[in-house]
Each structure stands twice: as C-alpha cells, then as structure tokens.
Amino acid sequence: MGSCVYVAVRPAGGEARRIGQNLIQALAEPMVGRAGLSRDDTGRPRVEGLAVSVSYSEHQVAVAVGYDGPLGIDLEEVRPREFRALAQRWFGQRELDWMAEQPDELTGFLQLWTAKEAVGKALGTGLNDGGLQREMPLGGGPVEAAPGLAVTYLSCPNAVLALAAPADVTIEYMSIDHGNCPPGVTGA
C-alpha cells in the first residue's frame, strides 16, 4: 500500500483563492512543518516536498496534498449546462456510449470531464497535448494512458469531484462545512 493523499473540500464564498491557500497550508503543515506555499511557472501551487493540486468552482474549493505524486484534482458543480457539443468534440466513442448509458447524462459527462482535468493536472499538461482526447477509465480506476495513475471519484454535494493520484494511495477525505461528505475513503 502506498502513502496517503489528503483531500479537503470547503465552500468558496467570495475568497476562493485565499481559502484554497489556507486549505493547502492546513493539510501540508502536519506533513512538512511550516509549509511555504509558492507557485510554479504555470501558476500551480507548490509546497516543497509535497505533491499539491487545487480546483475552484463557483461555490467550492477542493485541494489534494500528499507525499507521493503526481496529483491532480478537479471539481465541477452539477448545474444545468449545454455539454453534448463538448462531449461530441472531445470524447471518444466508448466514453460517449458510457455517458449516454448513465442515469444522469450530465453527471456522466462531468465525471469524464473532471477525470480529464484531474489527469491533466497530475501529468502537468492540463488539457494540452491531447488531454481532452485522452480516454478516461469509465467510472474511475487505472488510467491506461498514464500507467500507475488512477482516477477516484469522491462524493460531494452538488458537485463531481475527481482525484488523479498514484493507484496505490489511501485517500483521506474531509469536507469542511459539508456534513454529508464521507470522512474517508480508500483509493482505487
């Protein structure tokens, strides 16, 4: 069994960036002492000695921190939106078929989209270099295009939350100010 990745989600309010920084520091400090938070050339958060990822939505912030990387996290709120044209453009036929079979097609779309975003963050490429066309595991699991990496979906109210992390990590998940998220789950 690998090491542990700590994930936290919190309402964003009007200060999402500050809340994200505070969450990263709160998770990182027990692991490395005083956590010096900086940004790399692309603007991604960085804490020396740790893998870190952050995602912002309109109402929530999600962060992931662990000793072992790569790590990527993405959060999308479930709200009405046009998604079929995006899916047709960027998803493979297998992904489109799976999405259409889901009880809620929008949630299926968001699962695939957040997985693509999370994997892109973990690989350090974002959605560039074919990231949107990279096929994702249906319903989570090992990422064929990125050996050793797995996607795990974490339950969160009114949102789809995907974590891309080494396949053998344990995930400790906490939702601050959300009483109905699970206190902990085990990775893929």
pLDDT (0 to 100) of residue 184: 36
Q: Greater confidence, 184 or 40?
A: 40
CB 165 within 8 A of CB 122: yes
pLDDT (0 to 100) of residue 80: 93
pTM of the shown model: 0.87
Q: With 90 as the cut, is the pLDDT of residue 69 above it?
A: no
Spatial distance between the Cα atoms of 177 and 181, rounded to a whole number of angstroms: 9
In whole numbers, what is the pLDDT of the chain averaged over residues?
Answer: 85
List Cα–Cα distances, 66 to 42, 92, 144, in angstroms: 20, 31, 22
pLDDT (0 to 100) of residue 81: 94
Q: With 90 as the cut, is the pLDDT of residue 17 above it?
A: no
Spatial distance between the Cα atoms of 184 and 85, rounded to a whole number of angstroms: 35
Q: In this structure, which amino acid lies at residue 148?
A: G
